[in-house]
Amino acid sequence: MRFRKLGDSDIDVSEISLGSWLTYGEGVERDQTEACTRAAFDAGINFFDTSNAYGRGTAETAWGEILSAYDRDSYVLATKVFFPMTETDRGLSREQIHKQLDFSLERLQTDYVDLYQCHRPDPETPIEETMEALTEVCEAGKVREIGFSEWTIEQIDAGLEVPGARKWVSSQPQYNMIWRAPEAELVPFCAEHGISQIVWSPLAQGVLTGKYEPGEEHPHDSRAKSDAMGWAMDRYLTDEVLEAVQRLKPIAEEAGLSMVEMSLAWVLREPNVASAIVGASRPEQVHSNARASGTELSADVLAAIDEALRDVVVSGPQLANFVEEGVKHR
Instruction: Give pLDDT tens digits for 19-67.
Output: 987 666 677 888 899 999 999 999 999 999 999 999 999 999 999 999 9
In a domain, 178, yes or no: yes
Q: What Cα–Cα distance (Å) separates residue 276 from each residue in 91, 120, 270?
A: 26, 19, 11
Determine the average pLDDT of the residues in 131-154: 98
pLDDT band for position 2 (50/70/90)? very high
Q: Distance between CA 228 and CA 131 in Å, rounded?
A: 33
Q: What is the pLDDT of residues 170-224, one digit of tens each?
A: 999 999 999 999 999 999 999 999 999 999 999 998 899 998 887 666 565 555 4
For residue 43, give the nearest of 294, 296, 303 by alpha carbon.
294
Do 74 and 124 form a contact (C-beta atoms < 8 A)? no
pLDDT for residue 231 is more than 60: no
What proportion of the chain, given as a percentage, has pLDDT over 70? 92
> Count of domains in the chain?
1
Residue 212 lies in a domain: yes
Residue 74 has pLDDT above 50, yes or no: yes
Amino acid at 224: A
Whether the CA torsion 141, 145, 151, 155 is positive or negative: it is positive
- Residue 236, pLDDT score: 82
- pLDDT at 220 (0 to 100): 57
323 falls within a domain: no
**Average confidence (pLDDT) over 275-279:** 96
Supply the pLDDT for residue 83.
97
Query: What is d(CA 168, CA 186) in angstroms, rounded to the nearest whole number?
Result: 13
Average pLDDT value over all residues in the chain: 93
Q: Which residues contact 78 (CB under 8 A, 6 or more apart)?
A: 47, 48, 49, 50, 113, 114, 115, 116, 117, 147, 198
Please check whether residue 271 lies inside any domain of the structure. yes
- The catalytic residue among 24, 54, 116, 175 is 54
What integer pLDDT is reported at residue 61 of this predicted model? 95
Q: Which residues pair with 28 in a beta bridge?
A: 24
329 in a domain, yes or no? no
Known catalytic residue at 70? no
User: What gap in Å lies between CA 122 and CA 205, rounded to an integer?
Assistant: 26
**Residue 232 confidence (pLDDT):** 54
Per-residue pLDDT band for 230 (boundaries 50, 70, 90) equals very low
Q: What is d(CA 268, CA 138) in angstroms, rounded to the nearest whole number?
A: 29
Mean pLDDT of the 283-310 span: 97
CATH of the domain at 35: 3.20.20.100
Q: Binning pLDDT at 50, 70 and 90, where does residue 229 land?
A: very low
Residue 320 lies in a domain: no
* Cα 57 versus chain centre, distance: 17
Report the alpha-carbon distance of residue 60 to residue 107 in Å, rounded.
6
Range of the domain at 266: 3-309
Residue 155 pLDDT: 98
Mean pLDDT in residue range 219-248: 70
Residues 6+ apart with CB under 8 A from 127: 155, 158, 159, 162, 327, 328, 329
Residue 225 lies in a domain: yes
Contact between residue 26 and residue 55 where contact means Cβ atoms under 8 Å apart: yes
Residue 21 lies in a domain: yes
Indicate the pLDDT class of residue 126, thresholds 50, 70 and 90.
very high
Q: What is the mean pLDDT of residues 226-253?
A: 79
Q: What is the mean pLDDT of residues 141-145?
A: 98
